[in-house]
Amino acid sequence: MDDARTRLIESAQELLWERGYTGTSPKAIQDRAGAGQGSMYHHFNGKADLARAAIRRTAEEMVPRSRAHLDGPGSPLDRVRAYLRAERPVLRGCRVGRLVQDQEVVSDPELRGPIDAVFSGAIERVAAVLREGQEAGEVRPDVDADQVATALMAVIQGGYVLARAHQDEARYTAAVEGALSLLTIVG
Amino acid sequence: MDDARTRLIESAQELLWERGYTGTSPKAIQDRAGAGQGSMYHHFNGKADLARAAIRRTAEEMVPRSRAHLDGPGSPLDRVRAYLRAERPVLRGCRVGRLVQDQEVVSDPELRGPIDAVFSGAIERVAAVLREGQEAGEVRPDVDADQVATALMAVIQGGYVLARAHQDEARYTAAVEGALSLLTIVG
DNA sequence: GTCTATAGGAGGATAGAC
DNA sequence: GTCTATCCTCCTATAGAC
């Protein structure tokens, strides 16, 4: 059993994922955490303050996930494939990508910062692995690794969007496989 | 054309784009439309009903935009490039892609349907043009056109997400150019 | 630290007058 | 068709007791 402060942060993480910032009320967070109003306003200044803590924590939790695949075993191309094909809660959406639609999140540097850092860090790491792949002769050498890495991250985020619109995880898979098929050197 | 009903729909379209479904209140729509509560509830059953009309209209307006590029002049690859490079309000986000984050939108088939149709229609059209390009020898023949078309649509949607997170339109451009660079036959 | 009480405002909608 | 009045709930936060 964790303390109330931790439970509040975890509940906020879940609700921000499910309903976004605007759709998440302090009351709902308290209820899910089993904490009262007094408890929440003792530990945090308000909704935005709690959301900052929750988003920071979610961002911290996501970095090791991508590192696990990108810094894992296998050839560079294998690692990029493993990252893109990693199991994801597609229909639930991206924990952080979802939040950038919220105007209040984008406007607050403390809310947006950690999200931006997750994406920027992942793009950089993917680009580095792609460059390894180019040197190894696995990946087309005629493309800009940074641009392609950005495109691959966009495929993941856009895959979430298309899959939710279609309510079918297959649309995510199609996007990822389409992107991966373009990555290899044509025979 | 200038009646209250139309103004209400147009105002709802703008607000849904800016703030999403959850973040848009009937009051805000009325204020922007210069219409009173009585007027809105005379023309529509409520918020969801008005949102349905607004989303249908937005979806209708988006189809010709994509057709303009995909069915335009130039070679197949030129048309795909023109579509991906078309000017878009990147930092404002996608009019329809934004909405699929909203749980209430995804849950209501009448709200989700038109959005899904926009994406599905665009994917099909892009795939057809890609197949033309493959036959013309412009596009790699060894890839699945449907999957690649899905990937390209995902790049657009994901480009919006990454650009908003970074608050920089360049991130969208990088994603698009990275994807396009993979499309051509390697020299 | 956590509880209850309190509060002004916004959200979403209904009813009846004009 | 549009207006105003009214309703109840939820939102977000503050105050003070325990």
Which B residues 88-107 touch A at CB under 8 Å? 93, 96-98, 100-103, 106
Q: Report the distance from CA of residue B109 to the C1' of nucleotide C12 in Å, as an integer.
A: 21
Is B25 within 8 Å of chain A by CB? no
pLDDT at residue B2, rounded to an integer: 76
Is B147 within 8 Å of chain A by CB? yes
Measured CA to CA, the distance from residue B139 to residue B81 in angstroms comes to 12
The answer to whether the beta carbons of residues A142 and B180 sit under 8 Å apart is no
Q: Which nucleotide is nearest to A26 (CA to C1')?
A: D12
For helices A145-166 and B145-166, the axis angle rounded to 10 degrees is 100
> Which among A144, A150, A178 is the nearest to B151, CB-wise?
A178
Measured CA to CA, the distance from residue A18 to residue B102 in angstroms comes to 9
A143 and B181 within 8 Å at the Cβ level: the answer is yes
Residue A1 above 60 pLDDT?
Answer: no
Measured CA to CA, the distance from residue A114 to residue A121 in angstroms comes to 10
Q: List pLDDT tens digits, range B52-74.
A: 999 999 999 999 999 999 999 99
Q: List pLDDT tens digits, range A89-146.
A: 999 999 999 999 999 999 999 999 999 999 999 999 999 999 999 999 999 999 999 9
Is A164 within 8 Å of chain B by CB? yes
Identify all chain B residues contacting A150, using CB atoms and an 8 Å cutoff: 162, 171, 174-175, 178
Residue A187 above 70 pLDDT?
Answer: no
Q: Report the distance from CA of residue A47 to the C1' of nucleotide C6 in Å, as an integer.
A: 19
For helices B76-85 and B145-166, the axis angle rounded to 10 degrees is 20
Stretch B119-146: mean pLDDT: 97
Q: Exposed/middle/buried for B104, CB within 10 Å: 0-12, 13-18, 19+?
A: middle
Task: Name the residue with the least CA to C1' distance from nucleotide C14.
Answer: B41
Which amino acid is it at A61?
E
Q: Report the distance from CA of residue A39 to the C1' of nucleotide D13 in Å, as an integer.
A: 13
A150 and B187 within 8 Å at the Cβ level: the answer is no
Residue B21 above 70 pLDDT?
Answer: yes
Is B110 within 8 Å of chain A by CB? no
B30 touches strand C (CB under 7 A): no
CA-atom Rg of chain B in angstroms: 19
Stretch A158-184: mean pLDDT: 98
A155 and B156 within 8 Å at the Cβ level: the answer is no
The answer to whether the beta carbons of residues B16 and B55 sit under 8 Å apart is yes
**Average pLDDT taken over every residue of chain B:** 97
Q: Decide: pTM greater than 0.95.
A: yes
Measured CA to CA, the distance from residue B54 to residue B153 in angstroms comes to 23
- Please provide the distance, in angstroms rounded to a whole number, between the alpha carbons at the two ends of chain A: 57
Residue B187 above 80 pLDDT?
Answer: no
DSSP string of A125-178, one letter each residue: HHHHHHHHHHHTTSB-TTS-HHHHHHHHHHHHHHHHHHHHHHT-HHHHHHHHHH
B167 and A116 within 8 Å at the Cβ level: the answer is yes
Nucleotides of C under 7 A from a protein CB: 1-5, 10-17
Q: Exposed/middle/buried for B159, CB within 10 Å: 0-12, 13-18, 19+?
A: buried
B143 and A179 within 8 Å at the Cβ level: the answer is no
The HSE-up count of residue B48 (CA atoms within 13 Å, CB side) is 11
The phi, psi pair for B168, rounded to 5°, reads -155, 120
